[in-house]
Every structure is written in structure tokens, then in C-alpha cells.
Amino acid sequence: PLTSHAASNMAAPLPGRCAFFVEKKKRFCKMIVGKGKKFCGEHEGESVDGSRRIVCPLDPKHTVSENKLENHLKKCNSREKDKPVSDSEPQKVHISMVDVYAPLSMFSSLCERSRTELQSLVDQLKAAVTGLDCNVEDGVLSHPVLQVELSNPKNGDSAHKHLKQQSSILGHLQDLGLLEGGRCFVEFGAGRGKLSHWIHEALKTSQDLQLLLVERCSTRFKVDGKHQDVGVEFERLQVDIQHLDLSKVPLLQTKKLPLVGVGKHLCGAATDLALRCLLERPGHEEESEPRHKRMRTMDPGCGSVLGLAVALCCHHRCEWRHYVGQEFFLKQGLGEMEFSAFCRMSSWATCGLRLTNQDEGHEAAEERDSVSGDLVRSFLCRFLSAAEREQMGRRCKELIDAGRLHFLKTKGFEGKLRRYADPQVTLENVLLTAVAASP
């Protein structure tokens, strides 16, 4: 039944769709109804046999007919699923030097550190990035396959920003010579799978195209269904990247096509896990081999890896145990404690321009801090300006990414950082790319 007088002023429900008016969304439900029915299963209230609908015990976000509960629990998307065949033990971190783990007592938050300690961190950061070859190149590109969608006035601001990023990523893949047929594209942190969708649209006339989407969470509104009737191998794995062994994925064993890793905003440690998944074979000590004997295009047990393009974000969520640049950090005289601090400071790159009590004057700032207890704010307004905080945050990101570039170099790849989108589109606008280095 309609639940609001507003419904009477709205257009009728779409043909074949539910006639229930959703008050919160101010529109009719868009679920498809059964033949001869007016409402969908969620809104019909009473089923044909009189059984009432109850909240699903696995997920309170939806309901189920009470007399069909047993069968529903067997196929509910929120049920505990069997682990995929690709699931393996978490991958072991391999570095050529001994890990240095600081005691937990040393990992105090920034607000608990003295000005001297914070000044020391800033000095260490400046020393580490001095002379560092980690420049971020400007490179906002596009790909013609998204041009029509980018010009579609029905897309809102949010959708338009995502399309711009996807277009630029495809442009970089093409510029690197990676966007071709005869490849398997592995999208890490796939979400709805829009990036893979556009890769498919760009290459749908190519031969031997595979797309493997990796996402640990159950995702709604996936685009996978659009590719069921297409002559392309399109597969999704619900698994955490750290448990993924590509050599055990059946899809990759059929043709053993060369691999290309992609990802749009691969958050924090997920980037490091993806790099390990692509370039380290589980249980194999890569570092024990002389570099000149390693393959320029690494073979993770299936097809060789040709390259990657991963949009980075959320450096503050990186973890030392997964970080691929441990060896690089240790050679800089830095360890887990500094890494943890720099990760936290990296967030200043995207929030450093927010106003603090910097302009209030010391007396007003002290009074405000005595009420709020905001020690971090108190320190920052006396020590670093907003512009300086942003600069320090970017330097932290550059240092963390320099470790990733060092890792790629040890694996025989030439890595680069590119500013693939305008800051107005996204502040997290750095793309990590890599291709096999020239012999």
C-alpha cells in the first residue's frame, strides 16, 4: 500500500514494477513483481499461502516468507560461504633483511608526543625524502570508449567524477601498451566492477580476453550480469587479497594468458597485498635469486605479469606487516615506529587545508584546547601551518610510495607515479603504474 499522500502526486510506478511507495526515497519501489501481482515479495505483506514475512536472521536488511525460511537460508547472499579454491594461507612477507618490530609502548598517538618528538619525526621525514627520485608526473588522460557516457547529462557529479577517473586509468593502460586482447585483467578491490566493465567495452572485439574481479565483500548492483551473454571470460572471486593464490584460480589455468593488475582506489594495505599477490609466489623465496636471473615478467604460477595500473588511496591505512617497502625503509634508517607515524601524518595531505584555531591567537587557542582536549590541534597550530601540514602529508605519501617503487624495481619492473586526475575530481589522484623494465 502507498504510505504517503506524496504518492498521489507522484507518477505511477513503472510497468512491471512494485506499486509500493518508499517514503524514505520519495519514489515507488523499483523491484520487479511476479505475473499478476501488484507488489514485490518484500512489500506484498502477506504471501499467497498466508505465510507472514519475517526479518532474515542472517541479514536484517531484508525479509523472507516464514514458510520458505529454511530454503532461503541455504541460498541467502549473507550466508557463510565455502572458501573459494583460490583461498590459501595468508602470504608470508619476504624481505632480505630482518624485520624490526618496535615494542607497542613506542606506538603512541601523535597527540601524546612532545614537540621535540614530533620535530624529530618531521626532521627524519625531510632527510628521507631529500634527493628521493619519486616525482609524481602529471598525466590526466582519457579513453574514447567512455566519451559518450562522460557526455551523458543524466550522470550526476559523483558519477561523472568516477567516469573521469576510469577514463584516465584506461588511457594510461593504453599508453603503457597494456590495454590489448590476449590478456587477463585482474581487478583488485573490484567493488561493483565498473573498471573491468570499461576494460571489456574497450576490448570486446578482441580475442582471448579474461577479466577476474577480486572483492572480499558481498557487493550490490554489480555490473557482472551485463557480461553473462558475451564471449568473454568474466569471473568474480569473493576473497581477501591476502589469501589469494593466483596459481590456484581455475580461470587463469585454462589459457594462462599474461596478467595485468588494475585497481581504482585500492585502499592502504590492499595495494601492498595486491603487489605481493601479483609478484610473489607463495612459499618461494624470490630474494634468494640473483636479480639478473629473475624473469622480467614475473610468473605467479599462471600467466606472466606484464604490468599494472593501480590508483592509490588511504596511506594512513597501510600496515607494516604487509608493506612491500620494508627493505627500503630499513635502508633509510627507519623502522616500523616511523612508518606508523608517517602513515598517520599522510592524512594531512588531504585534510591539511582544513582550518584550525591557527588564526585565533595563542590565548584563544589555549582556552579552546583546555575545553576540547584537542592536543593535536594545539600542537599543529603552533608548529605547522595548514600549507606545511599538507606538504608534510604529501611527503609521507611519497616516501611510502617510494618503497613500493623500490619493490617493483627488485622484481624487474619500471614503476612510476602519475597524477591521473585533477584534485577537483579526487584528492587521492595518484596512479601507480609498472611495466617490465628494459633489459
What is the pLDDT at residue 10?
58
Whole-structure pTM value = 0.74
Distance between CA atoms of 5 and 17, rounded to whole angstroms? 20
Burial of 359 (0-12, 13-18, 19+ CB in 10 A): exposed
pLDDT tens-digit series, residues 270-280: 999 999 999 98
Q: What is the pLDDT of residues 319-355, one digit of tens each?
A: 999 999 999 999 999 999 999 999 999 998 987 554 4
Q: Return the H-helix or E-strand segment holding 310.
A: strand 305-313
Q: What pLDDT, on the 0 to 100 scale, is given for residue 127?
A: 92
Considering the segment(s) 104-355+385-436 as one domain, its CATH architecture is 3-Layer(aba) Sandwich (3.40)
Dihedral sign, CA of 312, 318, 321, 324? positive
Q: What is the model's pLDDT at position 433?
A: 97
Instruction: For residue range 185-224, list pLDDT tens digits in order.
Output: 999 999 999 999 999 999 988 888 999 999 988 777 788 7
User: Strand, coil or helix: what is 299?
Assistant: coil
pLDDT value, residue 425: 95
**SS3 for 373?**
coil
Q: How confident is the model at residue 380 (pLDDT cuts 50, 70, 90)?
A: low
Domain coordinates in residue numbering, the chain: 5-75, 104-355+385-436
